[in-house]
């Protein structure tokens, strides 16, 4: 957490920048980058819905000092080139003052090069790769990082599940998956656990039989599945085939969210698959339940996943920074974001460390009756 002297210095920077920066306009445009179609659209749509909910509530309450906030969304389809093109449109054509996005790590990293050049403030609700905010002072996030969530899952496997022998399966072509796998393996070794198998494939694979057969032969008690929900569903179902017979606990990270909507037999998940997430909808915290109620009233559907909430928090943080800066100047808003101290969102209270990453809690989830279910909270 920032000390008082550091906060005072940062606040002075904000006030100095605001004094000479552009004042707020009648309409404040914020850009949104997300995969709204394609293989990972479930994540993009979840972030978009959370963002739009907050903006609607904010405008109903008077906006930012009386000025209306408008979201401008582009569908980047989960593709790096599409993301860069959309980002350029947001900055050059739409004249946005900040960006919420991107959603998955690879497009976010690609867009980061342009963010670094111009210094526009950007907050991702869901890109968890460590390098997203490295050497990029105007990029922040409302989600925790891959090394953190992979490490807590290794600890959970040992402390809660008693798994002394663990295995890993990951996507060799995906930075998100590779980073998770390496962090889990390293923490498991640090814990004194034996990593008996370390198998790879790609997200386009549909048959993981060879990897799973080899894993089964090593006798692990838990398997860390460093994939998104689609391939993870295939892995769980194939592991249960009689010819493989891999009877283990399955572990995952935030990319597992939504697997219950993809897998054909949710009984395979029942108190058997555990994953880290950014939010627990069954918390009795009044702000959490208020968010859930507002979400369901707006969209006429049950709350979907944690990225609904981290999307909400991402734009909340950006709008509060714009208000604190009293300006739409990039540097002033970025300084105000950096100075955030215990800003309350629906997933956590937020402060940022030296890497522009939030100091916040994580939640370990499982599945009961085919639905996400909160297991335990893991503080930083």
The 10s digit of each residue's pLDDT in 23-46 is 555 899 999 999 999 999 999 999
Percent residues over pLDDT 90 in the chain: 79
Same domain? For 140 and 153 the reply is: no
Q: What is the mean pLDDT of residues 66-81?
A: 97
CA 35 – CA 83 distance, rounded (Å): 9
Give just the sign of the alpha carbon dihedral 155, 158, 160, 166: positive
Same domain? For 151 and 139 the reply is: no
Residue 365 lies in a domain: no
Kindly tell me if the per-residue pLDDT of 279 is higher than 90.
Answer: no
Confidence at 282, pLDDT banded by 50, 70, 90: confident
Token pair of 349 as six digits:
């209270």
**What is the pTM assigned to this prediction?**
0.76
Q: Are 142 and 118 in contact (CB under 8 A)?
A: no
Question: pLDDT tens, 101-160?
Answer: 999 999 999 999 999 999 999 999 999 888 999 999 999 999 988 888 999 999 999 999
Same domain? For 161 and 310 the reply is: no
Kindly tell me if the per-residue pLDDT of 379 is higher than 80.
Answer: no
pLDDT, residue 25, reads: 59
Kindly tell me if the per-residue pLDDT of 288 is higher than 60.
Answer: yes
Percent residues over pLDDT 70 in the chain: 93
Mean residue pLDDT of the chain comes to 91
Most confident of 24-28, 186-190, 339-343, 372-376: 186-190
CA 237 – CA 373 distance, rounded (Å): 20
Residue 294 lies in a domain: yes
pLDDT, residue 18, reads: 39
CA 231 – CA 225 distance, rounded (Å): 9
**What total number of domains does the chain contain?**
2
Residue 112 lies in a domain: yes
Q: What is the mean pLDDT of residues 309-318?
A: 97
Same domain? For 338 and 251 the reply is: no
Residue 380 lies in a domain: no
- Higher pLDDT among residues 310 and 4, named by residue: 310
Kindly tell me if the per-residue pLDDT of 1 is higher than 60.
Answer: no
Residue 251 lies in a domain: yes
Token pair of 155 as six digits:
């600890």
Confidence at 8, pLDDT banded by 50, 70, 90: very low
Same domain? For 15 and 128 the reply is: yes
Q: What is the CATH number of the domain that holds 58?
A: 3.40.50.2300
Token pair of 377 as six digits:
């909270």
- Higher pLDDT among residues 127 and 18, named by residue: 127
Same domain? For 193 and 88 the reply is: no
Kindly tell me if the per-residue pLDDT of 20 is higher than 50.
Answer: no
pLDDT, residue 362, reads: 85
Kindly tell me if the per-residue pLDDT of 316 is higher than 90.
Answer: yes
Strand partners, 223: 167, 250
CA 198 – CA 262 distance, rounded (Å): 25
Q: Is the peptide bond before 308 cis (omega within 30 degrees of 0)?
A: no
pLDDT, residue 380, reads: 66
Which of 277, 312, 329 is the C-terminal boundary of a domain? Answer: 277
Same domain? For 351 and 239 the reply is: no
Same domain? For 133 and 164 the reply is: no
pLDDT, residue 24, reads: 58
Give just the sign of the alpha carbon dihedral 288, 293, 295, 300: positive
Kindly tell me if the per-residue pLDDT of 351 is higher than 80.
Answer: yes
pLDDT, residue 17, reads: 40
Same domain? For 169 and 247 the reply is: yes
pLDDT, residue 200, reads: 97
β-pair type (371-378, 349-351): unpaired
Residue 104 lies in domain: 4-144+284-360
Residue 296 lies in a domain: yes
Kindly tell me if the per-residue pLDDT of 355 is higher than 80.
Answer: yes
């Amino acid at each position: 957490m920032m000390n008082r002297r550091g906060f005072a210095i940062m606040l002075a920077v904000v006030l100095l920048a605001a004094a000479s920066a552009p004042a707020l306009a009648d309409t404040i445009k914020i850009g949104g980058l997300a995969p709204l179609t394609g293989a990972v659209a479930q994540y993009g749509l979840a972030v978009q819905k959370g963002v739009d909910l907050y903006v609607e509530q904010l405008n109903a309450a008077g906006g930012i000092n009386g000025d209306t906030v408008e979201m401008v969304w582009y569908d980047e389809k989960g593709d790096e080139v599409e993301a860069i093109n959309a980002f350029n449109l947001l900055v050059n054509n739409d004249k946005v003052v900040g960006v919420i996005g991107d959603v998955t790590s690879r497009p976010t990293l690609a867009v980061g090069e342009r963010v670094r050049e111009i210094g526009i403030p950007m907050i991702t609700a869901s890109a968890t790769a460590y390098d997203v905010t490295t050497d990029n002072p105007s990029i922040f996030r409302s989600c925790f990082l891959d090394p953190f969530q992979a490490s807590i899952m290794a600890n959970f496997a040992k402390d809660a599940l008693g798994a002394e022998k663990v295995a890993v399966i990951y996507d060799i072509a995906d930075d998100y998956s590779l980073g998770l796998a390496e962090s889990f393996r390293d923490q498991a070794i640090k814990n004194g656990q034996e990593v008996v198998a370390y198998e790879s494939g790609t997200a386009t694979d549909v048959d993981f039989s060879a990897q799973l057969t080899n894993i089964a032969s090593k006798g692990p008690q838990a398997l860390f599945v460093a994939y998104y929900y689609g391939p993870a569903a295939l892995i769980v179902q194939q592991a249960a085939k009689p010819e493989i017979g891999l009877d283990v606990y399955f572990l995952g990270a935030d990319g597992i969210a939504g697997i219950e909507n993809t897998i054909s037999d949710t009984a395979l998940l029942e108190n058997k698959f555990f994953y880290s997430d950014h939010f627990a909808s069954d918390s009795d915290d009044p702000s959490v339940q208020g968010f859930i109620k507002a979400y369901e009233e707006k969209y006429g559907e049950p709350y979907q996943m944690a990225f609904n909430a981290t999307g909400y928090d991402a734009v909340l943080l950006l709008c509060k920074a714009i208000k604190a800066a009293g300006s739409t100047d990039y540097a002033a808003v970025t300084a105000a974001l950096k100075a955030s101290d215990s800003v309350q969102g629906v997933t956590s209270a937020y402060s940022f460390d030296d890497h522009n990453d939030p100091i916040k809690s994580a939640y370990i989830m499982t599945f009961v009756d085919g639905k996400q279910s909160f297991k335990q909270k893991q503080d930083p």
